[in-house]
Structure 1
Amino acid sequence: MSDNMRVDEATGTDFVGHEWDGIEELDTPLPRWWLWTFYLTIIWGIVYVVLYPAWPMVSGATEGILGWSSRGQLQAELQAEEKRRAPIMASLSAIPIEALPANNELMQRAISGGAAAFKVHCVQCHGSGGAGSKGYPNLNDDDWLWGGNIADINYTLTHGIRNPDHEATRFSQMPAFGEILSGADIDAVTSHVLSLSGKSRGNAQGAEIFSQNCAVCHGPAGKGDRKQGAPNLTDGIWLFGGTESDIQMTIANSRQGVMPRWNDKLDPVTIKMLAAYVWSRGGGEQMPVLATRSPLTKESAEGDVAAQ
């Protein structure tokens, strides 16, 4: 009997004829249940290839006789969700932005939708909580360059800040006074600007320079002008930093911050939802009394005064 025909006496199983350092291998048959499972997986694989997309081609893949695809399933789910949301979106589209806060149900839906849109489009600059950073406004406070009621916010989102390709964009221009004033003059007016928020004693020279060069936009008292996007210099809130060196840099070189306009990227309802979310962050102001015919509130009165 040859080596490969030898039988193991203990098990009655044939040897396969291989030996490694005195260790031999038995030709033990696979369990029946394992073999049937293996055959079933082969059959399942063939059926799957026939029914579903499977083989990659040059510009696509085999479609399968069922015509199913994960992209098609996703598209169907998106269409179903869009159909479900259609009545809400239609209501949000129809309601004037000024009237949205008075409709509690729609407002809450708008805030939820705006929160989702904010995470996609706005957190890169304003942060996940809307607190902003140097050069990017904090959306949680009540300091607004162009107005903080929901209509003003909606306009800013729609048309952006300093978008030269868009006529309706918000635009303000502060000269680079480093080309106009001497270093000593900039130091003097910096001291005066800091004194407006109680951070410096100020000086007569700086006050005079401010009156001649800055008051036309910021106002004689430095309260700012929202129609021009000129910031209030008395509140101690600084977009580009409030240290002496920061303010010197701003006066000398100006700042030309840009915010994209979203009307070429998002639909009007999504922008309206974003405005509702930003307005709800805590710093949103009431609409002016004449626009809403609502009772005068302390917040709206303060907003009117700040806007003047």
Structure 2
Amino acid sequence: MAVEERDKYTGYLTTGHEWNGIKELNTPVPRAVYFFLLIAFLYSVGYWVLMPAWPIGVSYTKGLLGFDQRNVVQDSLKQAALGRSAWTKQIETKSYQDIQADAALMKTVRTTGRTLFGDNCAVCHGLNAKGGSGFPNLTTASWLWGGDPEAIAETIRVGINSPHPDSRTSQMPAFGHDGIIKPAEVDKVVAFVRSLSDPASAKTVKPGDIDAGKDVFAANCAACHGEDAKGKSDMGAPNLTDTFWIYGGDTQTVTNTVWNGRQGHMPSWDGRLTPLDRKILALYLVDQRTPNP
């Protein structure tokens, strides 16, 4: 039988293992470890007895306290709904003008509207609502179907060229492609239209093209865009005198628009957003507006 060896410095027995002259001591586990293990065990037993813990087939042990996290969540949702109802009722019943005059309500509109917009509209119009090629900038006063809150809410509800039975519907003809006007007339009306929002562009075209383009515009475009080219919201025809262009205002893009026509599309949010959500979004967008230049 091997004789146990005791370390002369610490007094502990060795395990018999040695590495490079270093002997492993058979050091006892500190009593504090046993103490905390016991505390953890007693805590676990207490938790198992008091709280839901163990699965038993299709159910589980309920615990003496009968605590249920689902009830806590449901109570929290009820409290949140009660808190939300305090301001949702006001927004539902007040007019757009009264809400806009209420600083506290508009603070809520900005917070809630930002979330609604980010979840539903930002994929097309961008998080900043400034749009992009083919998608309108919603922070301006240049709106195809009207920019007051009521008109915006209705556009959100029915969409544009959507399957909704009340959808707003508009179509710009393909004037060049369908031979409605001649290729030379396309160039002239493009020159005229661009000069409305960018007078400096008139210097880059042939003398007389602007006046000729004005005649082409009066004969073919004024019916929708108006004689002053400021658009008609009842037809979804844009204002051509400002600097806001959905598809771009450079010569090539405007030429493509006149030649091939345009038909924008916006889905209907009726049935996907509640009337309250649509009202908040309309107020939020009006609040984001910057003046026309």
TM-score interval (norm. to shorter): 0.7 to 0.9
Q: Write out per-residue CA displacement over residues 14-33 of structure 1, whole angstroms, 9 at most, x where no aligned residue.
A: 22222333332111111111
Residue 24 of structure 1 aligns with an amino acid whose one-letter code is K
Q: Say yes or no: does 1:174 pair with 2:167.
A: no
For 1:55 and 1:240, the matched residues in 2 are separated by 62
Deviation at 1:277, TM superposition (A): 1.4
Structure 2 spans left out of the alignment, 5+ residues: 203-208
What residue in structure 2 maps to residue 185 of structure 1?
185
What residue in structure 2 maps to residue 221 of structure 1?
228
Residue 175 of structure 1 aligns with an amino acid whose one-letter code is P
Residue 171 of structure 2 aligns with an amino acid whose one-letter code is Q
For 1:95 and 1:125, the matched residues in 2 are separated by 30
What residue in structure 2 maps to residue 304 of structure 1?
none
Of 249-258 and 271-280, the range deviating more from structure 2: 249-258
Which TM-score applies when normalising by structure 1? Answer: 0.78
Q: Give the CA RMSD over aligned residues.
A: 3.0
What residue in structure 1 maps to residue 238 of structure 2?
231
Which structure 2 residues correspond to residues 204-219 of structure 1 after superposition, within 5 A?
A: 204-219=211-226
Residue 116 of structure 1 aligns with an amino acid whose one-letter code is T
- Structure 1 residues 259 and 63: alpha-carbon distance in aligned structure 2, compared to 1, 3 A threshold: farther
Aligned length: 281
Which structure 2 residues correspond to residues 103-142 of structure 1 after superposition, within 5 A?
A: 103-142=102-141
Contact residue 140 and residue 281 of structure 1 kept, 8 A: yes
- Structure 1 residues 57 and 212: alpha-carbon distance in aligned structure 2, compared to 1, 3 A threshold: farther
Deviation at 1:217, TM superposition (A): 0.7
- Structure 1 residues 13 and 276: alpha-carbon distance in aligned structure 2, compared to 1, 3 A threshold: same
Contact residue 175 and residue 259 of structure 2 kept, 8 A: yes
Which of 228, 248, 252 matches 1:241? 248
For 2:196 and 2:161, the matched residues in 1 are separated by 27
Contact residue 140 and residue 289 of structure 2 kept, 8 A: yes
For 1:214 and 1:263, the matched residues in 2 are separated by 32
Contact residue 145 and residue 229 of structure 1 kept, 8 A: yes
What residue in structure 1 maps to residue 147 of structure 2?
148
Instruction: Give SS of 2:88's match.
Output: helix
Deviation at 1:46, TM superposition (A): 4.6
For 1:144 and 1:63, the matched residues in 2 are separated by 61
Instruction: Give SS of 2:165's match.
Output: coil
For 1:236 and 1:172, the matched residues in 2 are separated by 21
Percent identity of equivalent pairs: 36
Q: Say yes or no: does 1:196 pair with 2:193.
A: no
What residue in structure 1 maps to residue 2 of structure 2?
2
Q: Write out per-residue CA displacement over residues 123-175 of structure 1, whole angstroms, 9 at most, x where no aligned residue.
A: 333333332222222222221111111211221222222212x1122221112
Q: Write out per-residue CA displacement over residues 17-55 of structure 1, whole angstroms, 9 at most, x where no aligned residue.
A: 223333321111111112211232234345445655667
Deviation at 1:80, TM superposition (A): 0.7
What residue in structure 2 maps to residue 18 of structure 1?
17
For 1:96 and 1:284, the matched residues in 2 are separated by 23
Of 203-212 and 244-253, the range deviating more from structure 2: 203-212
Residue 129 of structure 2 aligns with an amino acid whose one-letter code is G
For 2:165 and 2:56, the matched residues in 1 are separated by 49
Residue 225 of structure 1 aligns with an amino acid whose one-letter code is K
Residue 243 of structure 1 aligns with an amino acid whose one-letter code is D
Residue 150 of structure 1 aligns with an amino acid whose one-letter code is P
Which of 256, 261, 278 matches 1:271? 278
Deviation at 1:229, TM superposition (A): 0.7
Instruction: Give SS of 2:277's match.
Output: helix
Contact residue 53 and residue 61 of structure 1 kept, 8 A: no
For 2:162 and 2:219, the matched residues in 1 are separated by 29
Contact residue 149 and residue 284 of structure 1 kept, 8 A: no
Q: Write out per-residue CA displacement over residues 173-192 of structure 1, whole angstroms, 9 at most, x where no aligned residue.
A: 11223422354433232112
Residue 272 of structure 1 aligns with an amino acid whose one-letter code is K
Contact residue 159 and residue 261 of structure 1 kept, 8 A: yes
Structure 1 spans left out of the alignment, 5+ residues: 286-308
Which of 246, 257, 260 matches 1:253? 260
What residue in structure 1 maps to residue 269 of structure 2?
262
What residue in structure 2 maps to residue 38 of structure 1?
37
Instruction: Give SS of 2:201's match.
Output: coil
For 1:268 and 1:215, the matched residues in 2 are separated by 36
Contact residue 139 and residue 283 of structure 1 kept, 8 A: no
Deviation at 1:212, TM superposition (A): 2.9
Residue 146 of structure 2 aligns with an amino acid whose one-letter code is G
Contact residue 55 and residue 61 of structure 2 kept, 8 A: no
